[in-house]
Chains A and B, each alone.
Chain A
Amino acid sequence: MNDRPVSRRKVLLSVGGLGVVTLLAACSAATPASPTAASTPASSTSAKPAPTQTPKTGSSKATATTPTVAAQAQSGAGTQGAKIVFYVWGGAPEKKVWDAEAAAFHKANPKFTVNDEILGSAFNQKLTAAFAAGTPPDSFYSGGVPFGNAKVEQLLPLDSYVKQDQVNLNDYFPVTIKNYQYKGHLYSLPNECGGYVIYYDEGLLKEAKQETPGALLAAGKWDWNHLIQVAKAASNPPNQFGFDIWNYSLIQIYAWDQGGDLVDNDTDPTTSNWNKPIGTEVLQFYSDLCNKYKIMPDPSFEQAHGGSGGVAVAMESNRLAMGVQGAWERLFLNSAKVSFKWDIGLMPKGSKTATTVGYASGCVGTAAAKHHDETWQFIKFMGSEEGNKIYAGLIAVPPLVKVANSDWFLKRPPVNDKIQTKVYLDALKASRPSINFPKINQYNQIVNNELDLVRLQKVTPQAAAQQIHTDLMSKVFGSGGY
């Protein structure tokens, strides 16, 4: 019998070796999807025809009005019993919409179910972490191509599916499709959309003896100068402000309204125009709103009131007369049982035109998804008439033109005693997609830094515009960046 104890070194080496092997095994599973696979979704489309099923009519109002949608959705291939993991933002108010969408999809596609994970304010962090870890969901909700959350190579291009199922992209408002296109590829079919509009507190404007944006528009006087005039009369800083808008929306909209562009191409920019007069002009305008006219609050107001529902809260406490948001704000203005009378109006006109930011939201598939075909079926359903109606029925504008122009949308019971659907539609028609490209986070960081300095009057608008241009050209569009 050998009395020599087991060598500590041997044991530690064995355990260490086992650990390393386990680690390597774990790492290999988390290897990011190959970009080749991501860029060729057709190769993963097994195109197994689904069994034909008779659409169940009359089971729900939505299904009854769109009998062909369910049948279309069932035409694709898919694995029996597949579960599509779907990440989405929102909280309690939106939950019933997502549950209804998932239930309707399951009804139309009994073979698959959607596991919707409503992540609320943790949405961005959880999604970004999932992508970084190589374990993204099959699909997630996104406003535009989600460059802020993922690399384009991690997304599922839908072009071959669109072609295969003969989806007509002209059925949608062009701005909504543009939100999901990058270098000729499409990444979603929109489920809801809108253009930013101005929400205003009628009482505060009346108190300030000012006409409403709607009345000024009807009189042909609704431009940025009149907005400043109305907002100034309704301001009493630091307790009450006349106007609030997200900074990055303001600078884009104002530049477009003056006939300018801050970059040469909104989705695939190669050069910055910030060194041109338009760059200084937008920063001067932003500085004036904050410092000269004092009608816009500083970013702390944004922290407290900037998110969805922020305008409703700020107006309820008499702190804001006019605020710019999307159609979703209506949900908060209605559910909050606000005590003031509110209405909406279009964005004002600049020296050349009147534009606004046009947004769209829809489901995006991921290249690493386990179920590409099923994910496509889900995306297609959400972009269908039935999918559009469920979401738009609550808070949004349907991206499908025929649904948006139908009596179902235009003649439904008005909110706040007014027919506002037309304003939302007019805003959408006057809109452009926000600047969005793969390095959008870096772009925003550079611009926001200078906006801070301009607001604090640490630099002149001209110097800030030049600095933005220099930084963008070296770090975002040039070779000096990472």
Chain B
Amino acid sequence: MGLFPLSRLSWRRQEVLWGYICISPFLIGFTVFTVGPLIFSLYMSLEKYVAGLPPTFVGFYNYQYMLRDALFWQSLKVTVTYTVFVVPLGVIIGFLLALLMNQGVKGIGVWRTVYYMPSVVSGVAVSMMWLWLLNPDFGVVDNILHSLGIPGPGWLTTTTWALPSLILMSVWGAGGSMIIYLAGLQGVPKQLYEAAAIDGAGRWGSFLNVTIPLMTPIVFFELVMGIIGTFQVFINAFIMTDGGPAYSTLFYVLYMFQQGFEQFHLGLAAAMAWVLFAIVMVLTFLVFKSASLWVYYESPAEERTN
């Protein structure tokens, strides 16, 4: 008799058991690499854990320290400012680009590819490219401005322009959301436009009363993903400004990285990660709660939940 006398089990039990065996690689991986570290980081956030030294349990000290730390608030301020500008910009520009790319003109495939292409370039490469483009000495942007008799503002070297530069740079990646909006636009049933036309709606009326309502679920998706994404901004600031000048681009995750991997305050960095998680969760919850006010679904809510 084998260790697992499967043949003695009913067919149904065998099927269930095999099902679990088959998904166990994921379950084990998820537990070990996601749930485990999650729990461990929560515990770490309650410790004064400086890399290389034995950790000591300090309760909520890290959270209290954070509240007293001016740079924590500065990093939060920078990140919220970035989110407030970048998320609406991404939604609007992505949507407008999708409308343009939804036109049935010759060579539209090429245009779609061109606009989507920046989204597949790695963040580091994009940062390096922009670093050179915005360089006041030999950057293309300043050279163009100089040729027009306008002095460059010091894009990444002044406290006034460093964060706006990163915000403007984010538009570069609008092609990613454009593709999602485009898919949504192409899914709008033509009959609805025909019905609107019969009712006397012009192009603007159709856009306001058909296109926009049917695109709200996608706007909702982009909004949620945008909030989550902008709160996790790291690469641009890490490579281009390292949080400067004078902390004007000190993003939350960059500061968390500095605490964890430059100053070795792993317990504090873990606490910051949990605060970030809480902030993103609350904001996502608020967006979800507001959805019933502005997101239009063709099917009733009770059908969607079934």
Q: Mark A289-313, 1 if CB is under 8 A from B, else 0.
A: 0000000011111011000000000
Contacts of A154 in B (CB 8 A): 51-52
Closest to B156 in A: A300
Q: Are B135 and A300 in contact (CB under 8 A)?
A: yes
Contact present for A151 and B51 (CB under 8 Å): yes
A300 to B13, CA, bound (A): 67
Report how many residues on chain B are interfacial, defined by Cβ distance under 8 Å: 51
Among the 9-residue stretches A42-50, A105-113, A450-458, the one with 4 or more Cβ atoms under 8 Å from chain B is A450-458
B residues 117-168 in Cβ contact with A at 8 Å? 131-132, 134-138, 154, 156-159
Please give, as numbers and ranges, the residues of chain B lying within 8 Å of A304 by CB-CB distance: 132, 135, 137-138
Complex: chain A residue closest to B268, CB-CB = A482
Q: Are B266 and A298 in contact (CB under 8 A)?
A: no
Q: Which of B10, B27, B51, B244 contacts A131 (CB 8 A)?
A: B51
**Measured CA separation A27–B134 after assembly (Å):** 44
| B261 near A128: Cβ-Cβ < 8 Å | yes
A458-B159 in contact (CB<8A) = yes
Chain B residue nearest in CB terms to A128: B261
Residues of A within 8 A of B54 (CB): 32, 34-35
**Bound form: Cα–Cα A18–B158 in Å:** 53
* B225-242 contact mask (Cβ, 8 Å, vs A): 1 or 0: 000000000000000100
- The distance from the CB of B118 to the nearest CB of chain A, in whole angstroms, is 22
Partner among B12, B30, B132, B264 whose Cβ is within 8 Å of the Cβ of A132? B264
Indicate if A168 sits at the interface (CB-CB under 8 A). Answer: no
Which of B32-40, B77-85, B174-182, B188-196 touches A?
Answer: B32-40
B108 at the interface (CB under 8 A from A): no
A23 within 8 A of B: yes
Contact partners of A297 in chain B: CB under 8 A: 137
Residues of B within 8 A of A407 (CB): none
Cβ 8 A contact of A452, one of B24, B28, B246, B260: B246
Number of interface residues of A (CB under 8 A): 55
* Residue B263 interfacial (CB < 8 Å): yes
Contacting residue for A449 out of B36, B40, B136, B247, CB 8 A: B247
Looking at the assembled complex, report how far the CB atom of B86 sits from the nearest CB atom of chain A, in whole angstroms: 23
Q: Smallest CB-CB separation from B248: which chain A residue?
A: A452
Contacts A2-B10, A298-B154, A456-B159 given; 11 further ones with Cβ under 8 A? Answer: A5-B12, A11-B20, A15-B20, A18-B28, A19-B32, A19-B36, A131-B52, A132-B266, A151-B264, A238-B137, A452-B246
A441 lies within 8 A of B262 (CB): yes
A303 to B128, CA, bound (A): 10
Our pick among A6, A128, A300, A456 for the contact of B246 (Cβ within 8 Å) is: A456
B16 is an interface residue with CB less than 8 A from chain A: yes
| Partner-B contacts on A (CB < 8 A) | 1-6, 11-12, 15-16, 18-20, 22-23, 26-27, 32-35, 125, 128-129, 131-132, 148, 150-151, 153-154, 238-239, 297-301, 303-304, 317, 319, 439, 441-442, 445, 448-450, 452-453, 455-456, 458, 482
Q: Report the Cα distance A6→B134, complex, angstroms.
A: 62
B32's partner among A23, A128, A132 (CB-CB below 8 A) is A23
Q: Are A15 and B28 in contact (CB under 8 A)?
A: yes
A238 touches B53 (CB 8 A): no
Give Cα A303 to B245, complex, Å: 13
Question: Can you list 19 contacts pairing A with B, beta carbon distance less than 8 Å?
Answer: A1-B8, A1-B9, A6-B13, A12-B27, A19-B28, A23-B31, A32-B52, A35-B53, A132-B51, A151-B53, A298-B136, A300-B156, A301-B137, A304-B135, A449-B246, A452-B159, A453-B159, A455-B245, A458-B246
In the complex, B288 has a CB within 8 A of chain A: no
User: Chain B contacts of A19 at CB under 8 A?
Assistant: 27-28, 30-32, 35-36
Judge if B112 is at the interface, Cβ distance under 8 Å: no
